[in-house]
């Protein structure tokens, strides 16, 4: 079968499309899935370019969507022909985070082989059903960025109608957060350095937009746009260089969902300002399988579909990563075959 592999030192120029042995028939408790799509996340890029070291010959990509081709003995949750999507933390099935919930040892495309391959055989509980009627590339956006937005807003943030959400940027998580929040009756403020992208965000329902290049004090502006009392939730994808503004934007008693490190992995936090806001910074990484099932159910009910910027063919995975690096995308980048 065809698959991409990442060398131990990484590098987009060293991603190799190769032939690997077919994984064969599923054993007891397993399913065989023909993978048809994956989507790109920042974590995948870090593995591919070598910023996150991994085992030599690792098959990358955390997100995988496809069709069940065979089921092993004892599998009752899936049938041949079902459309399925992978789980980011297959070891975290339900409940609160535990010791393994933050470990990447079994995360596809990191500590374990991922989904840049034509076929996989995995335990059945490493997957959930995909939303009804979604194309494979749409389903592939669900595993990482989609579930992250869902958990941040709904599971941890307890989003309710009338709340105001501030989403930073126009990548996959933030655009999904915009869609979810609007479907639940919330107001959304979104930021970008591109007026063109902000116009697209408005077309998707954003109530207010802020260009952070022309308005460097965007946290203060967001606070005022939220009725002069701040936003209930911030989808914080930047990290240390944006946190101070996010704290400025949040209301007293609000929540900042720390889900990204686009500006670095450590920095200074204005702790006095955070204390004054009595706000909560909730660090989170994706979610568990039960939360993914709940998210799929919500998508089936609302009829929402993910925003996909561009779909690349399988053999163009390195080019897809370079497009991701450019920062030109709006929403998700996918690879389908």
The answer to whether residues 113 and 189 belong to one domain is: no
Report pTM: 0.95
User: Are 137 and 172 in a shared domain?
Assistant: no
CATH of the domain at 177: 3.40.50.720
Residue at 299 is within a domain: no
Whether residues 99 and 158 share a domain: the answer is: no
CATH number at residue 110: 3.90.180.10
Is residue 291 in some structural domain? no
* Residue 174 covered by a domain: yes
Instruction: Give yes or no: residues 161 and 217 share one domain.
Output: yes
- In a shared domain, residues 166 and 275: yes
Tell me: do 63 and 27 sit in the same domain: yes
Could you tell me if 109 and 137 lie in one domain? yes
Q: Is residue 289 part of a domain?
A: no
Co-location of 136 and 155 in the same domain: no
117 assigned to some structural domain = yes
Say yes or no: 232 and 159 in one domain: yes
| SS3 per residue for the chain | CEEEEECCCCCHHHCEEEECCCCCCCCCCEEEEEEEEEECCHHHHHHHCCCCCCCCCECCCCCCEEEEEEECCCCCCCCCCCEEEECCCCCCCCCCCCCCCCCCCCCECCCECCCCECEEEEEHHHEEECCCCCCHHHHCCHHHHHHHHHHHHHHHCCCCCCCEEEECCCEHHHHHHHHHHHHCCCEEEEEECCHHHHHHHHHCCCCEEEECCCCCCHHHHHHHHCCCCCEEEEEECCCCCCHHHHHHHEEEEEEEEECCCCCCCCCCCCHHHHHHHCCEEEECCCCCHHHHHHHHHHHHHHCCCCCEEEEEEHHHHHHHHHHHHHCCCCEEEEEEC
In-domain check, residue 259:
yes
Residues 243 and 276 reside in one and the same domain: yes
Residue found under tokens 């399925």: 84
Position 199 in a domain: yes
Task: Find the domain containing 59 and state its range.
Answer: 2-141+306-336
> 14 and 83: one domain?
yes
Structural domain total, the chain: 2
Same domain, 118 and 6: yes
Full pLDDT tens readout for the chain, 337 residues: 999 999 988 999 999 999 999 999 999 999 999 999 999 999 999 999 999 999 999 999 999 999 999 999 999 999 999 999 999 999 999 999 888 777 899 999 999 999 999 999 999 999 999 999 999 999 999 999 999 999 999 999 999 999 999 999 999 999 999 999 999 999 999 999 999 999 999 999 999 999 999 999 999 999 999 999 999 999 999 888 999 999 999 999 999 999 987 777 787 888 898 999 999 999 999 999 999 999 999 999 999 999 999 999 999 999 999 999 999 999 999 999 9
């Amino acid at each position: 079968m065809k698959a991409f592999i990442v060398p131990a030192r990484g590098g987009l120029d060293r991603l190799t499309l190769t032939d690997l042995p077919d994984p064969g028939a599923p054993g007891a408790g397993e399913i065989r899935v023909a993978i048809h799509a994956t989507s790109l996340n920042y974590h995948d890029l870090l593995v591919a370019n070598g910023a996150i070291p991994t085992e030599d010959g690792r098959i990358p990509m955390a997100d995988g969507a496809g069709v069940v081709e065979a089921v092993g003995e004892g599998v009752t949750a899936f049938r041949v022909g079902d459309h399925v999507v992978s789980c980011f933390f297959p070891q975290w099935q339900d409940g609160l985070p535990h010791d393994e919930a933050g470990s990447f040892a079994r995360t596809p495309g990191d500590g374990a082989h991922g989904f840049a391959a034509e076929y996989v055989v995995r335990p059945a509980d490493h997957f959930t059903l995909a939303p009804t009627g979604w194309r494979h590339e749409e389903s592939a956006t669900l595993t990482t960025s989609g579930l992250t937005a869902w958990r941040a807003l709904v599971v941890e943030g307890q989003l309710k109608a009338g709340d105001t959400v501030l989403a930073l940027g126009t990548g996959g998580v933030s655009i999904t957060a915009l869609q979810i929040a609007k479907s639940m009756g919330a107001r959304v403020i979104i930021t970008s350095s591109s007026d063109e992208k902000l116009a697209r965000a408005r077309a998707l329902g954003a109530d207010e937009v802020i260009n952070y290049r022309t308005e460097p004090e965007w946290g203060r502006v967001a606070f005022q746009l939220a009725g002069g009392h701040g936003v209930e939730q911030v989808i914080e994808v930047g990290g240390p260089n944006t946190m101070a503004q996010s704290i400025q934007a949040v209301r007293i008693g609000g929540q900042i969902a720390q889900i990204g490190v686009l500006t670095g992995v450590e920095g200074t936090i204005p702790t006095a300002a955070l204390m004054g806001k009595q706000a909560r910074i909730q660090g989170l990484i994706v979610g568990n399988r039960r939360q993914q099932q709940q998210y799929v159910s919500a998508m089936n009910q609302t009829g929402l579909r993910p925003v996909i910027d561009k779909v690349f063919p399988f053999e163009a995975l390195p080019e897809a990563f370079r497009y991701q690096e450019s920062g030109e995308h709006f929403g998700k980048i996918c690879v389908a075959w």
